[in-house]
Amino acid sequence: MKTPVTDMFGIEFPILAFSHCRDVVAAVSRAGGLGVLGAVGHSDEALEVDLNWIEDEVGDRPYGIDLIVPARYAGDGEGGLKMVDIVAMIPDEHREFLDELLDRYDVPADEAVDQQPLGGLTGGSADAPFSANRASRQIDIALAHRPALMANALGPPPAEMINRCHEASVPVAALAGARTHAERHVNAGVDLIVAQGYEAGGHTGEIASMVLIPEIVDAVAPVPVLGAGGIGRGRQMAAAMALGAAGVWCGSVWLTTEEAETHPVVKDKMLSAGSGDTLRSRSLTGKPARMLRSAWTDEWDRDDTPDPLGMPLQPILTDGSQARINRAAHRAGSGAEQLATYFVGQIVGSMSRSRPAGQVVMEMVEEFIDSCESLAVQLDV
């Protein structure tokens, strides 16, 4: 295949795979796509380890890194708030609600988790998540390696990130859920736009991919655009490229692959879920993010419970509770099993069997070719 994206990265297929799992990243890059490591949950040490491992696994093949680098942040005059400052801002009402929730669902206490201070599981740094200090260190680590792409997961990449990446000859990508977001990214100097529709897992906007992709393609041409949201099969890839995308950015479809580190209970839920079994909720991150519906999302959606806090307060509040739930969710029929959830898009309805990530790539390409050939036949009038 030949598109502006395959040319940009020297890859065989214009399939970019976002994953927090290094095994998926390496497998997709080896299969001819471009694996992109989602590093928001990585400590500095873990990021260093995983990037070294990926480079050993992929050899000369390219890979990318996805960070959260804030354009604006609390306390920016001092480099961002510290974790202790953020923790102090969390209301007692929210802490009490979570304590009661875990008790009601009989989620057992866990010494390894409970001994951690609030927010202590979010990467092991004294700096608050998404702070300038932490982001700058992660950019340092990333650029000390050889990524073919740097992406900013949330919001416009700041000038410092773009300038440093361009000085290292590394293109920068940014996600956009609306035309105005994409235009802002391009004006800032971004090289690649990910048009992420409402169907996508994780943080997403309110415009569906069918409408969003061509709107952004027209707005930012000639900057290449990747289609994202509801894309996990070759037919959906063909549709995105028919709408003007130069490739696709997929995240959810890798969560049930054999390499994925998805919690086994959550993976089983995904394999049996339908496309209507997801919803957008602020219950994990403080921003609307699409995930599996579970007892956790239902409880946060009740009228008599506190509203989720904003980012980064909500993830710091819920991090320890999520760790307790995940460590106990293996018990069939338990409250922890009912509460367990994770980010995933509406494509989950097509994720009915676990396969190697490389096989997913090849099946997408084969179905893409079949779809294009079918259309060509219909044009033979």
What is the percentage of the chain residues whose pLDDT exceeds 70? 91
Tell me the angle at which helices 179-188 and 209-220 cross, rounded to the nearest 10 degrees. 30
Whole-angstrom CA distances from 92 to 85, 87, 95, 297, 321 are 15, 11, 5, 20, 15
Asked, for residue 277, whether it belongs to a domain, the answer is yes
pLDDT in tens, 356-379: 999 999 999 999 999 999 998 988
pLDDT in tens, 273-304: 999 999 999 999 999 999 999 999 999 999 99
- Side by side, which strands form the sheet with 202-203? 202-203, 289-292, 278-281
Residues 99 and 174 in one domain: no
pLDDT in tens, 212-240: 999 999 999 999 999 999 999 999 999 99
pLDDT in tens, 3-20: 999 999 999 999 999 999
Asked if the model's pLDDT at residue 75 lies above 50, the reply is no
Asked, for residue 39, whether it belongs to a domain, the answer is yes
Asked, for residue 219, whether it belongs to a domain, the answer is yes
Q: Would the CA dihedral through 62, 65, 71, 77 be positive or negative?
A: negative
Residues 42 and 147 in one domain: yes
**Which of 207, 232, 254 delimits the end of a domain?**
254
Residues 246 and 333 in one domain: no
Asked, for residue 180, whether it belongs to a domain, the answer is yes
What pTM was estimated for this model as a whole?
0.91
Contact 320, 270 (CB under 8 A): no
> What is the pLDDT, as a whole number, of residue 255?
98
The whole-angstrom separation of Cα 16 and Cα 8 is: 12
Which of the residue ranges 57-61, 80-84, 160-164, 177-181 would you say has the lowest mean pLDDT? 80-84
Asked, for residue 179, whether it belongs to a domain, the answer is yes
Asked, for residue 248, whether it belongs to a domain, the answer is yes
Mean pLDDT value across residues 100-128: 70
Is the previous residue joined to 158 through a cis bond, with omega within 30 degrees of 0? no
Binned at pLDDT 50, 70 and 90, residue 76 comes out as: very low
Asked if the model's pLDDT at residue 121 lies above 50, the reply is no
The whole-angstrom separation of Cα 167 and Cα 189 is: 13
Residue type, 73: Y
> What is the pLDDT, as a whole number, of residue 74?
44
Asked if the model's pLDDT at residue 161 lies above 60, the reply is yes
Asked if the model's pLDDT at residue 88 lies above 90, the reply is no
- Domain count for the chain, please give it: 2
The beta strands (E) that lie in the chain are given as 15-19, 34-38, 63-67, 149-152, 172-176, 192-196, 202-203, 225-228, 247-250, 278-281, 289-292
Asked if the model's pLDDT at residue 124 lies above 60, the reply is no
Asked, for residue 55, whether it belongs to a domain, the answer is yes
Binned at pLDDT 50, 70 and 90, residue 129 comes out as: low
The whole-angstrom separation of Cα 48 and Cα 176 is: 28
Residues 181 and 329 in one domain: no
Residues 175 and 315 in one domain: no
Asked, for residue 363, whether it belongs to a domain, the answer is no
Residues 9 and 38 in one domain: yes
> What is the pLDDT, as a whole number, of residue 73?
46
Asked if the model's pLDDT at residue 106 lies above 80, the reply is yes
Residues 269 and 295 in one domain: yes
What is the percentage of the chain residues whose pLDDT exceeds 90? 81
* Lookup: tokens for 311: 């980012």
Binned at pLDDT 50, 70 and 90, residue 80 comes out as: low
> What is the pLDDT, as a whole number, of residue 151?
96
Contact 135, 69 (CB under 8 A): yes
- Each as own residue / partner, the long-range contacts of residues 260-264 (CB below 8 Å, 24 or more positions apart, any chain) are 260/19, 260/21, 260/23, 260/24, 260/357, 261/20, 261/21, 261/23, 262/342, 263/326, 263/329, 263/340, 263/342, 264/330
Residues 92 and 238 in one domain: no
Residues 232 and 197 in one domain: yes
Domain carrying residue 294: 83-124+262-339
Q: What is the mean pLDDT of the chain?
A: 91
Residues 270 and 293 in one domain: yes
Query: How many other C-beta atoms are found inside a 10 Å radius of the C-beta of residue 268?
Result: 15
Binned at pLDDT 50, 70 and 90, residue 119 comes out as: low
The whole-angstrom separation of Cα 208 and Cα 211 is: 6
